[in-house]
Amino acid sequence: MLSANKHAARVPYPESLRSIMSIRCAEQSRQWLSQWRGIAHGATPLRALPGLAARLGIAWLGVKDESQRSPLGSFKALGAPVALLRQVLRLHPGFEPEAVLAGRYAGTLKDYTVISATDGNHGRALAAAARDAGCRCVIVLHAQVSVERERAIADCGARIVRIAGNYDASVAEAARLAAAHGWQVVSDTSYEGYEDIPRDVMQGYGVIASELVEQADGAAGDPPYTHVFLQGGVGGLAAGIVSYLWEKYGARRPRFIVVEPVQADCLYQSALAGRPAGATGTVDSIMAGLACGEASPLAWRFLQDSVDDFMTITDDAAIEAMRTLAAGDCGDVPIVSGESGAAGLAGLLVLLRDRALAGAAGLNAASRALLISTEGATAPLVYEQCVGVPAASVLSRQQKWRASVDTAGISGCRAKTAC
């Protein structure tokens, strides 16, 4: 399903939003994170897929591969650590930012406890950051979070609390535990009276956009992409990237399309209602990172006037997209993209199979589409069940592909092969 956002506007980035999230703060976050051992040095790859683009009939297709962001295998390594760091600095303004995640204040922070609900990746990132900073971490998991993801979070030193409900129930339980014990919630979704930390999480995601601007070689002042496909969830990732690119390009910004599971369509419903709304489905999707029932009100403030289209996809469409990226068809580089990571490609494939939908989304032979693969095989067994082969096999073929091509001078979004 595709719904055009009647409130989308081609205007300069509003000052009211700049006061909340800005390029300046995103760059500050990028600098601080560059000193953390839990994150890769340098930008994640922007991989061009010229073969798939040609098969689909568009001018260019690229994937920002966030599986390479850190050992966590997810873009969430950007959000929770920044939020934890900024919260610590609010409590201890004299601390040196780069020293917090290096553990230099562990003695001071040893009795400080942070807590969050998660579908997996956010909790793992928060647990890793808390471990390195020297504070305690409690993670609340709902019934649909896999045992694999639970173990990965526990391995980062977090205490795990399991509940029987869905993601929204885990958010409520995290808030209850925090109030009962005096712990600090570090969540990627906002609610009444709780916006500073979700804003910091979203600001961390702006690092992705910062790298994309550097990696692009479009005409001066113009965006190098006509379309940017972004995962839904509560809206945090989309808001973080939209904020940066909207401020950078103003009224010339690319077309933003948000994709989410049909059974977790809170942003789609928010667009229809013109305000933050809840999902109409079961909120039980294989796309665990996007299985959210309520839109973040703070994220919605950035999305309501900037996202041009909201769409929903099925789990089967996501699995097909995972397999397409893993196969590396048409001579393209094979890519490991998890269930939520492949959602953008799933949305693009759905649109391009229907001439009317493609036209409604402004997709044609001149389109240059950007996807964000937000995660790799963060749940390896789930990935293998979906794709039919283990992630290690795909990575082996990726290494062979890279060894077989001359990558000298390949960068940016006009590359003929992957970088």
Asked if 284 contacts 166 with a C-beta cutoff of 8 angstroms, the reply is yes
For 341-353, give the DSSP string: TTHHHHHHHHHHT
- Catalytic: 119? yes
**Rounded to an integer, what distance in angstroms lies between the CA atom of residue 81 and that of residue 85?**
6
Specify burial of residue 55 (Cβ count, 10 A radius: 0-12, 13-18, 19+). middle
**Rounded to an integer, what distance in angstroms lies between the CA atom of residue 252 and that of residue 257?**
15
Specify burial of residue 303 (Cβ count, 10 A radius: 0-12, 13-18, 19+). buried
- Taking CA atoms, 62 is separated from 39, 48, 370, 417, in Å, by 22, 4, 5, 10
Specify burial of residue 416 (Cβ count, 10 A radius: 0-12, 13-18, 19+). exposed
Asked if 340 contacts 407 with a C-beta cutoff of 8 angstroms, the reply is no
Choosing from 65, 119, 132, 332, which is the catalytic residue?
A: 119
**Rounded to an integer, what distance in angstroms lies between the CA atom of residue 180 and that of residue 296?**
24
- Catalytic: 200? no
- The residues near 116 (Cβ < 8 Å, ≥ 6 apart) are 80, 122, 123, 126, 139, 140, 174, 185, 186, 187, 188
- Taking CA atoms, 72 is separated from 68, 75, 121, 288, in Å, by 9, 8, 7, 16
Asked if 174 contacts 119 with a C-beta cutoff of 8 angstroms, the reply is no
Q: Mapping DSSP to helix (H, G, I), strand (E, B) and coil, where does residue 77 land?
A: helix
Asked if 242 contacts 17 with a C-beta cutoff of 8 angstroms, the reply is no
Choosing from 76, 132, 309, 332, which is the catalytic residue?
A: 76
CB atoms within 10 A of CB 402: 15
Asked if 78 contacts 34 with a C-beta cutoff of 8 angstroms, the reply is no
- Taking CA atoms, 172 is separated from 105, 161, 182, 185, in Å, by 30, 13, 15, 11
| 266: amino acid identity, one letter | C
Cite the active site residues: 76, 119
